[in-house]
Amino acid sequence: MDSQLDGGQVDDTEATLPGIGEGEIIVIRSKRRKRHLSAYRQGGRIVISIPASMSKADERAMVPEMIAKIRSQEAAKTPTESALAERIDSLLTEFAPEILERPQSVTWRSMRERWGSCTSVDRTIRISDRLRLAPDYALDYVLFHEAIHLAHSDHGEEFTSILARFPDSELASAFLDGYEAAERALAAPVELKKLG
């Protein structure tokens, strides 16, 4: 690879750890790094940069600690499912008081194609785990969008007019569009095969 991350050369030693979902964890050996490790999220992956001189034994001992630290920090910032339900109640009370229905459950789910979904029959709402660390206005926009589906199953005129009451809808839409564009840009390139 020709690209660089965190100032270090990405080379053939870039690899995922065994037992971790393919591509979720990337370990980069950096010639610029002398002693310290760094870990951060990029494009849905946890990227860990280590000194090129670090032994494989030290790598196997220290990388899981860095992964645990990142995940712990993220968990501390992630609203609980009961907090999501409370946010929906507040959003509906403030912006759509005519909607009296409330969700039976609100859960985080792994969703790559949608930000959220609602099943009005059993009043369940599922929110993409990609939004766990999103700004409040973006998460609230998705929560409000899905909560409106408790009363309006389609995206018709009534639904649209209620959704337009959300004060930061343009900002939230821009964030979500930007997030999706960044995900597409950071996705691994697809290798084309010759026909013949």
Residue ranges of domains in the chain: 4-77, 81-186
Predicted confidence at residue 19, as pLDDT, reads 39
Q: In whole angstroms, how far apart are CA 169 and each of 29, 94, 97, 160, 174?
A: 42, 15, 18, 11, 8
Task: Name the residue with tokens 């099943």.
Answer: 119
Asked whether the beta carbons of 14 and 7 are under 8 A apart, the reply is no
Helix 169-186 and helix 136-148: axis angle, to 10°?
Answer: 110
Count of residues for the chain? Answer: 196
Q: What percent of the chain lies above the pLDDT cut of 70?
A: 82
What tokens appear for 160 in the block? 């649209």
pLDDT per position as a tens digit, 102-111: 999 999 998 8
Average pLDDT, rounded, for the chain: 82
CATH architecture designation of domain 81-186: 2-Layer Sandwich (3.30)
In whole angstroms, give the CA distance from residue 31 to residue 34. 7
In this structure, are strands 124-128 and 105-109 parallel, antiparallel, or unpaired?
parallel
pLDDT per position as a tens digit, 180-194: 888 777 665 555 555
What tokens appear for 163 in the block? 């959704």
Predicted confidence at residue 20, as pLDDT, reads 46
Sequence-distant (≥ 6) Cβ neighbours of residue 35 within 8 angstroms: 51
DSSP state, residue 152 = -
Asked whether the beta carbons of 63 and 47 are under 8 A apart, the reply is no
Whole-prediction pTM value? 0.67
Task: Name the residue with tokens 């990405």.
Answer: 10
| Sign of torsion over alpha carbons 164, 166, 171, 176 | negative
Range of 33-47, 49-63, 68-82, 145-159 with top mean pLDDT? 145-159
Lowest mean pLDDT among 42-46, 112-116, 168-172: 42-46
